[in-house]
Homo-oligomer: A and B are copies of this chain.
Amino acid sequence: MIRRQQINDLLKSTAFNTEVKVMGWVKTFRNNQFIALNDGSCMANIQVVVDFNNTPENLLKRITTGAAITVEGILVESLGKGQTVEIKASKVEILGDSDAEKYPLQPKKHSLEFLREIAHLRFRTNTFNAVFKVRHALAFAIHQFYNERGFVYMHTPVITASDAEGAGEMFRVTTLDFDHTPRTEDGKVDFSADFFGRSTNLTVSGQLEGELAATAFGKIYTFGPTFRAENSNTTRHLAEFWMIEPEVAFADLENNMELAEDMMKYVISYAKDHCAEELAFLNNRLLEEEKQKPQNERSELSLLEKLDFCLNNDFQRLTYTEAIDILKASKPNQKKQFKYLIEGWGADLQSEHERYLVEKHFKKPVILTDYPKDIKSFYMRLNDDGKTVAAMDILFPGIGEMIGGSQREERLDVLTKRMEEMGVPQDELWWYLDTRRFGTVPHAGFGLGFERLVLFVTGMTNIRDVIAFPRFPKSAEF
């Protein structure tokens, strides 16, 4: 059995002059004497001091950036700057060599674009170590938040026969052969011969199934992958991404807003408490990156200030109608600086409008509610005015829409009327309608795009940098 100590534990240790054994990857090797060693347990390296007079030269040559080694030695107090302990090595062994000529990660700054090409190795950099530690912490915080509150975690299906979820273009899942496609008598593809006996797709949302569970358990959440087959090559979209979708019975839009705000504050606060080192690093990274920009494009707040700002302020709540009034009267609308000018009620809000409200007007997260029914989904609850629905979008600085949700239409007659108007097939969703037939209750829920949350908390700017192996048009490498 392999026994070794982790570097994160040793860096906190005061057990000086004891024997230790560590394994890790060489970050740098200076003067044939000082190894900066990292084992992934934390961003920081431990310094290993090699007795170069008593170490064979052919071994010293193999201590290169990226090489994996075992070090045995004595933990001693360090006199070096920025570290309290180091290891005086008595034995160094090579576990795995790394050809310095060929290893793509050199001890210098690489561009994020270059690192995206070598996503299988980028975890070994400080930036991606920090990003994925924060991602982990946020995922755990979400589970802990809902678990503490008695929500049941549901795994809703990834493969779905329904194409009525209405959130976007879908990927087909099939075992049929393009060359010998089974056909019905009238020449159509015979999906009854497909694996599931029907046409199937990858889910765009677990919400509809989540509602089934919420109307039994009271409170549920999902946390799983969702998919969009849309040809969006942007810094905000992925073809495969993870979503959190809570759904609560006996809840209205007010309850929904409260839950969403509580959750966002809880997870951001958790990340601050558990990833102080990583967030400090990412804060500095962003400051350095912003220095490349002209003064007027830089953020007013640093990453850490932005996180605190969300924690310390109530999210601004206002209706779509109020937002339209603000936007109509705004300077960029008056001066025709918006690409899409706001001329009246009913317009769908664009990213530029959302950013104006959040970043310029209110300068904090904003919850917009009660949108026109015509620009929202069939399952959102119709308000008494007959024109708007009990929807909510939560907008975050730099991100735009972080969360979309609503109170659901629980009245069978109103729901089926909306489905008819919007062309949603009722026979396919018989099970969804059953929840309105048998003991229907007011209920509400929302969806949080997990990668957008990670973007916000890490201060990264491209969504492809916060998921391990991003999937987007023309790219499914690794």
Contacts and interface: CB of A to CB of B under 8 A. Distances in A.
Given A102-B437, A216-B40, A476-B161, A171 B171 contact: no
A41 B150 CA distance: 7
Contacts of A441: 23, 68, 95-96
Contact of A171 (B67, B96, B143, B175): B175
Contacts of A225: 155, 158, 224-225
Interface of A: 1-2, 4, 6, 8, 23, 25-26, 39-41, 66-68, 95-99, 102-103, 120-121, 123-124, 128-129, 132-133, 135-136, 139-140, 143, 147, 150, 152-161, 169, 171-176, 178-179, 181, 189, 195-198, 200, 202, 209, 212-213, 216-219, 224-225, 227, 229, 239-240, 242, 249-252, 254-255, 258, 410, 431-432, 434-442, 467-469, 471, 473-478
Nearest to A162: B478
Nearest to A182: B178
Given A178-B181, A439-B95, A216 B250 contact: no
Contacts of A217: 40-41, 123, 129, 132-133
Contacts of A39: 218, 249-250
A55 to B, nearest CB: 19
A120 B40 contact: no
Contacts of A467: 155
A197 B474 contact: yes
A7 to B, nearest CB: 9
A136 B153 CA distance: 5
B478 A209 contact: yes
Contacts of A216: 40, 121, 123-124, 128-129
Nearest to A69: B439
Contacts of A147: 136, 140
Given A121-B212, A159-B239, A172-B173, 15 more contacts: A1-B255, A2-B250, A2-B252, A23-B441, A66-B439, A68-B439, A95-B440, A124-B216, A132-B152, A136-B153, A155-B467, A156-B468, A157-B471, A158-B240, A159-B240
A157 B468 contact: yes
Contacts of A128: 216
B156 A195 contact: no
Contact of A143 (B6, B26, B140, B181): B140
A271 to B, nearest CB: 13
Contacts of A156: 468-469
Nearest to A122: B216
Most buried by B among A23, A99, A439, A476: A439
A212 B478 contact: yes
Contact of A140 (B153, B161, B174, B439): B153
A478 B197 CA distance: 14
Contact of A23 (B154, B179, B250, B437): B250
